[in-house]
Structure 1
Amino acid sequence: MEISWLSIVPVLLTVILAFAAKNVFIALLSGIIAAGIILDVNTGIVFTGLNSIYQVFQDDWAAKSILFCLMIGAFVYVIEASGGVHGMVEYLTEKRKVVKSKIGAQLLAYLLGIFLFIDATSSIVISGVASRPLFDRFDVSREKLAYITDSTSSPIAWLIPFNAAGAFLIAMIGGQVSAGIIDVDPMSVVISAIPFQLYGILSILLVGVVIFTDKHRKKETQWVKLNTGEREVEDYSSEEIFEGDITPNAKNMLIPLALLVGSIFVIMIITGDGNILKGDGSAGIYIGAIITLIVTGIYYIAQGITKTETYMKWVMKGMGNYLGVTMILVLAFAFSDLVSQLGTGEFIASISSNVNPAFVPVMIFIVGAMMSFATGTSAGTVAVLIPIAIPMAAALGVSIPLTLGAIISGSVFGDHCSPISDSTILSSMIAEVHVIDHVKTQMPYALTSAVLASLGFLVFGFII
């Protein structure tokens, strides 16, 4: 399809409806229908939009991610039903007094999000699941939990080159080297670009500032009132009164959590023939979740915590609780594919041509931010921008590491604050808050980091 302004119409419609209707499902479905109509008119093929929904399951990564979310719903439910979460809270607060305050609970989520840099999805899930009961214990808002997990997992995954994102960047830069556009060592360029990932660095630092300055106090005060019983439990919430006399025990949470982390890493090592950097991340999270649920069930049953039939009910109930958000994720994947077919990314990127070399880094950052927010994907934005921005930077004599840092920074912006991003949706799901509430709460901090990053790229553009 010829690139034109029509390609941004579905994106604008989706974003506007998401905030106006406060319903991401309706917004995404409307965007899919609008994008499908435009493609239908231009290709002569009917029902492109609606067909894109089932076609999501033809993509291995998307299908595995969707199933992973359902299984995480089951995982969250069983560790709560078994008394693991309650036991973990008692262990950290009353017995060992490791976490003694609101700040302690937030620092736990913050540090877990940073140290679990191998995979952003795993980082969100593990830090969110481990920290959520402590946030509730100390009356810290769930929106703040979503903000902390989202604002650490996505940026750190791109900052550390020794993971799947790093391998992806090396491959993309390698393509530019093979094409003769630049003559550099791909790994060296990726490492050299780390100090220039201004948005990611600022986002992570800002989370620390927010934790210690407690800027969410107003929101948390509202949450304290709602925690007394006024808050309505979300459709996908795991908060229920479980039947039976379950004794709280931290092991019922720690052992399954360790199993989930360990199985993901082991599977990535196996699929990477001994090299975790070359491992299959989608297989790791998908198969790891299945193994975790099976072994956890055996462990619970062997310990007499539950019976086989009851455990299966827990699993099914947990999956059902997350079905609504999983459907939003399906629509997000479908919409992203349609936006790609429309050429929205290329159209937005085209506005960065023919500019003063000193303004190239900041322009690339802004364009990347617009693209990633519109498409909800960081990897997709990086994939579109590198073949466009790197040749332009090379031709104009702009620093390649600075350019790559601007590309990644812009890409991360949308990935961690767009209402249609899988990271945003997953962070909201794990924290059990509305996606739009998470976006609204996070946006002021994301925009603060974006403005500071823009100023940084502007300065570097003139001095490097």
Structure 2
Amino acid sequence: MRKPLILAAVCLAAAFMPDQASAADAAAAADNALQWGALTLIPPLLAIILAFASKNVVLSLFIGVFSGCFMLELKGFDVYHAMVGGFLHLSGQVLSSLADPWDAGIVLQVLAIGGLIALISKMGGATAIAGAISRWAKTPRSSQLAAWVMGLFIFFDDYANSLTVGPIMRPVTDRLRISREKLAFIIDATAAPIAGIALISTWVAYEVGLIRDGYQAIGLSGNAYGIFVQTIPYRFYNIYILLFILIAVWFKRDFGPMYKAEIRARKEGKVIADNAVPMASEEATTLEPASHVKPSVWSAILPIGTLMVAAFLGFYFNGYQAIDDPEVLASVNASPLSFTAMRTCFGASDASVVLFQAALLASLVAIGMAVSKKIMPLKEAIETFVTGIKSMNITAVILLLAWSLSGVMKELGTATYLVGALSETLPAYLLPSIIFILGSIISFATGTSYGTMGILMPLTIPLAFALNPSPEFVILSVGSVLTGAIFGDHCSPISDTTILSSMGAGCDHIDHVRTQLTYSVTVAALAILTGYLPAGLGLPVSLTLPLGILATALVIRFVGRKVDD
């Protein structure tokens, strides 16, 4: 591996990644990547392998983080001080993760939504809305379609998607004997994939910013948002995985581990396996209302509606306050309700803070409803909220350890090593496919799609332009970065969205990853074979996209096996 390539990669990563790592940190990561080489992969591989082998996610992540901290503290053969220093380094990583405003906001958001779910359940709202959905979703097919549609509807943020769809749909899918693994897959596969391509979402500003900076690096200027829109047809994985769900549900077909999970649920009535450990405690979602309470859908609609409306407004006003460019601010003020203004404000918002505020406000509305309707006194309402918070403790612990593992790998230079090891001179037509695969590997190993985009985008745009200056080819390569990062993150057991999807569905986390992996890898293979390879050879997207959709349908039809109601 060449040192200049490593240094260039890590410096670019420091410049574009969300946490704005300092030049000193970037240099240290470059040195560690050179020193440890392939051994920088030990922490993520250890965590992932142990998680699958032991099904104990907390212990596996802890060992993965500690192994990385041990490597960072090891000087020569001084194992003793490396053990002690590694433990201290680990505790520092966890503290840093919790001290990060974004991470803290996500943890608080998860806890607050846990309290909100408990309140809705105790008021009878969950029972009532499950009954209302059941009047339409009377079969496994229709209930899964309902979950898919709901996932598409909550397009503006992947976290909000993961945390909302599961608790609402879980009672319905449980009653109809749909496995928790299938529900978790539907949630996960409609979270980041739809948020990543939505014209207005909390992802847009970051993606557009990377595109703008990448084009400026090669001396080109243009409408970065327009380029982002042009990449959407080339987001083959996102499009295929969304349609994969619809087609599989419609044809009632599954394959691989998911087929076994669905057969178990249908025939034995076991929505989770006998040895499964659900991510979320059932305590928050199985709270029964008192005998005098008449379940009402409004007990769910008003709090959840408050959550959605508050989040939508919060994204706008939080982003508005964050805009520091006078020209951009003037443009927004000139037409505050325009599509452009909404896109700009949404993109500039701090999603973690907004979602926490929205969940807290929705919880206060739920408490007010419970007290005013005499469903329960104020003291019991607060205790119910706290019970819901407690049910999310394990999710918070896993998130903190996953973020700590990501921080350790950043220090070790894991992503930097992967970029240097896998980047070689290639024929132009192979570049989009290789970038997609490289993004997948980095995102899977690090559990972050944002970080992967930040590392690869400033490398991809100049490389694509040098190999083939055609605007369409550069846009295709940009799409492969954004899509590969989402695919790897979608599969990774240490990804926060994967963790939150398991939590929302009440599914064993490793069972979710194991059953989803077969589907994700299949769709990714189709994205390469019917998308990036032919598009790289010059075939128009008007031909490659329908071809890929047809191939997706054929795989489900002929590889999938019928799962009867």
TM-score (norm 2): 0.78
Question: Pick from 428, 446, 450: which aligns with 1:357?
Answer: 428
Change (3 A) 1:173 1:117: same
Instruction: Give the structure 2 partner of residue 142 of structure 1.
Output: 180
Question: Which shows bigger deviation, 256-265 or 243-252?
Answer: 243-252
CA distance in 2, matches of 1:239, 1:292: 17
3-state DSSP class of the match of 1:463? Answer: coil
- 1:119 deviates by 0.6
- 1:220 deviates by 3.0
CA distance in 2, matches of 1:317, 1:233: 19
Once the two structures are superposed, the pairs formed by residues 60-99 of structure 1 within 5 Å of their partners are 60-93=101-134, 97-99=135-137
CA distance in 1, matches of 2:130, 2:183: 16
> Which amino acid is the alignment partner of residue 368 of structure 1?
G
CA distance in 2, matches of 1:125, 1:38: 36
Change (3 A) 1:308 1:233: farther
1:236 aligns with 2:281: yes
Question: Which shows bigger deviation, 35-44 or 337-346?
Answer: 35-44
Instruction: Give the structure 2 partner of residue 253 of structure 1.
Output: 300
Question: Pick from 105, 111, 126: which aligns with 2:164?
Answer: 126
1:185 aligns with 2:256: no
- 1:243 deviates by 6.6
Q: Alignment RMSD, CA only?
A: 2.1
CA distance in 2, matches of 1:433, 1:315: 22
1:327 aligns with 2:430: no
- 1:453 deviates by 1.0
Instruction: Give the structure 1 partner of residue 326 of structure 2.
Output: none
> Which amino acid is the alignment partner of residue 64 of structure 1?
G
TM-score (norm 1): 0.94
Change (3 A) 1:239 1:161: closer
Instruction: Give the structure 1 partner of residue 449 of structure 2.
Output: 378
Change (3 A) 1:228 1:154: closer
3-state DSSP class of the match of 1:354? Answer: coil
Question: Pick from 515, 519, 538: which aligns with 1:441?
Answer: 515
- 1:109 deviates by 1.0
Number of equivalences: 461
Instruction: Give the structure 1 partner of residue 379 of structure 2.
Output: 309
Instruction: Give the structure 1 partner of residue 318 of structure 2.
Output: 271
Change (3 A) 1:160 1:30: same
> Which amino acid is the alignment partner of residue 428 of structure 1?
S
Instruction: Give the structure 1 partner of residue 41 of structure 2.
Output: 8
CA distance in 2, matches of 1:454, 1:36: 36
- 1:156 deviates by 0.8
For residues 135-159 of structure 1, give each alpha carbon's deviation from its aligned partner in whole angstroms, at most 9, with x where no partner exists: 1221211111110010011111111
CA distance in 1, matches of 2:466, 2:373: 66
CA distance in 1, matches of 2:68, 2:204: 32
Once the two structures are superposed, the pairs formed by residues 160-171 of structure 1 within 5 Å of their partners are 160-171=198-209
In our comparison, the structure showing a higher alpha carbon Rg is 2
1:102 aligns with 2:136: no
3-state DSSP class of the match of 2:203? Answer: helix
Contact persistence 1:181–1:394 (CA under 8 A): no
CA distance in 2, matches of 1:195, 1:279: 26
Give 5+ residue unaligned stretches, structure 2.
1-28, 77-81, 321-335, 337-344, 540-565
Instruction: Give the structure 2 partner of residue 113 of structure 1.
Output: 151
- 1:227 deviates by 4.9
Question: Pick from 383, 400, 407: which aligns with 2:474?
Answer: 400
Change (3 A) 1:154 1:241: closer
CA distance in 1, matches of 2:385, 2:200: 34
CA distance in 1, matches of 2:436, 2:497: 20
- 1:257 deviates by 0.9
Instruction: Give the structure 1 partner of residue 501 of structure 2.
Output: 427
For residues 182-203 of structure 1, give each alpha carbon's deviation from its aligned partner in whole angstroms, at most 9, with x where no partner exists: 4443122211111111111111
CA distance in 2, matches of 1:435, 1:226: 20
Contact persistence 2:310–2:358 (CA under 8 A): yes
CA distance in 1, matches of 2:215, 2:273: 59
- 1:286 deviates by 0.9
Q: Percent same amino acid at aligned positions?
A: 30
3-state DSSP class of the match of 1:147? Answer: helix
Question: Pick from 205, 216, 222: which aligns with 2:243?
Answer: 205
Question: Pick from 71, 93, 114: which aligns with 1:38?
Answer: 71
CA distance in 1, matches of 2:68, 2:133: 49
CA distance in 2, matches of 1:318, 1:188: 43
